[in-house]
Amino acid sequence: MGGIQVDAITREHFKQVRTLLLKLPRNATLRYKGMSLVEIAEFAADDDRKLKIKTINSHLTKISTIFNWAKREGRWHHSYHSGLVIKDTKDQEDGRRSFTIEELQAMFSAPLYTGCVDDERNFAKAGTNKPRRSRFWIPLIALYSGLRQNEICQLATSDIEEIDGITVLQVRKAHAWQKLKSKSARRFVPVHPELIKIGFLDYAREVRNQGHIQLFPELRPDVRGYMSGVFQKRFNTFRHSVGVSDPDGVFHSFRHTWRDALREARVGEGVAQQLGGWKGFGEDKRYGNGLTPNACYEDLRRVQYAGLNLSHLYR
C-alpha cells in the first residue's frame, strides 16, 4: 500500500496485503535481496516453504494494532482493518488451488507435447520435434505421483527401482544434491500406469544407459542448491503461454490436483499420507513397516482425471 493516502485505503487493500503474505516464502528478504515483496511472491511462486499461518496472522495483527490506534486518535474512521486473521487450515496455508481439466488439457496439448521447434526458447512454436526431457516429463510425473517440484527435479536414475514386482519412484537423499523437505518426505511412490503408457520407463532406461546419474541431466542446482530453480521459471513461462495466468495456478497445483484425484478414487487417508509424504505419515511410520508397494499401487492406479485425454502421448 506504499504511496496511498490513508483516506484512500479500502478493505480491498487490506485483503491484497493478506494475499501477498500468503504467497511469500519464509525469510523472503534475506533469500531474495534487492527484490520487492511483490517480485518475490511471483519469483518464488512454487517455493513450498511459505510463511506459517501463525506468522502471517502476527503481521496482520500488527497492522490492525496500528489502525486501531489511529481510530482511537481520530485519524481513521473505518473498520476495514478488522477480521483479517486467517483460520489455520491446510488448504489456506499454501494459498494454492487445483488445476481444472481444461487447464490440464491445454498444457498437455501445447506444442511442447505435440511437436515444437525445440524445448528451449522455441517451446511454444509448433514444429516437428518432440523432445522428451525435463520440461516434458516433470509436469506429467507431478500429475500422476503427487511429488513436489524439487523432489522430481532431483531424481536420480537409481531412484527408479523395482520392489516386489512394482516399479517405484524413490524420494530420498542418496546424493549430495538431493534434499528432503521433512523426515516424512522420504518415501516411495509406484509409477502410475499412465506414465508407463507415455514411455517414462523407456526414458529412464535410455538416460541410465547413457551413463547419467541424474534423471534429468540438463538441470543444474541454483544458488540455493535446489535443482528446481531453473525449471520453476521455465514452468511459469510455459503455463502463461497456454493461458494459465492465475497466480494461484502454479506448479504446486499439480499436488493439489493429485490429492483431489486420490479422494475421488476413494484412496484411504493412510495410503494418501504415505504416498504424499505428509506429516501424519511421518508421525506413525515408526510403527510397523508401512504399506507395501503392491498395496500402494493398487490404490494409486485408480487415480484418473475424467475428461483428460493423453492418448496422443502414448508410445
Digit-coded pLDDT (tens) for 267-283: 999 899 999 998 765 44
Q: What pLDDT sits at residue 25?
A: 86
In 3D space, the residue among 227, 210, 211 whose CA is nearest the CA of residue 219 turns out to be 227
Confidence of residue 61 (pLDDT cuts 50, 70, 90): confident
Average pLDDT over residues 41-45: 81
Return the DSSP state at 154.
T
188 backbone dihedrals φ, ψ, rounded to 5°: -125, 150
Q: Which residues contact 1 (CB under 8 A, 6 or more apart)?
A: 9, 13, 16, 17
Q: What pLDDT sits at residue 303?
A: 96
Q: What pLDDT sits at residue 35?
A: 86
Q: What pLDDT sits at residue 29?
A: 83
Domain spans, the chain: 6-93, 96-313
The pLDDT tens digits of the residues spanning 230-245 come to 999 999 999 999 999 8
Mean per-residue pLDDT of the chain = 89
**Inter-residue long-range contacts of 47-51, CB under 8 Å, 24+ positions, other chains counted:** 48/94, 48/148, 48/149, 48/150, 48/181, 48/252, 49/25, 50/22, 50/23, 50/24, 50/25, 50/26, 50/93, 50/94, 50/95, 51/21, 51/22, 51/24, 51/25, 51/26
The pLDDT tens digits of the residues spanning 117-166 come to 999 999 999 999 999 999 999 999 999 999 999 999 999 999 999 999 99
Of the options 1.10.1740.10, 1.10.150.20, 1.10.443.10, 2.40.50.140, the CATH number for the domain spanning 96-313: 1.10.443.10
In 3D space, the residue among 267, 229, 268, 269 whose CA is nearest the CA of residue 90 turns out to be 269
pLDDT at 186 over 90: yes
Q: What pLDDT sits at residue 48?
A: 66
The pLDDT tens digits of the residues spanning 68-108 come to 888 888 888 888 878 888 765 444 445 578 999 999 999 99
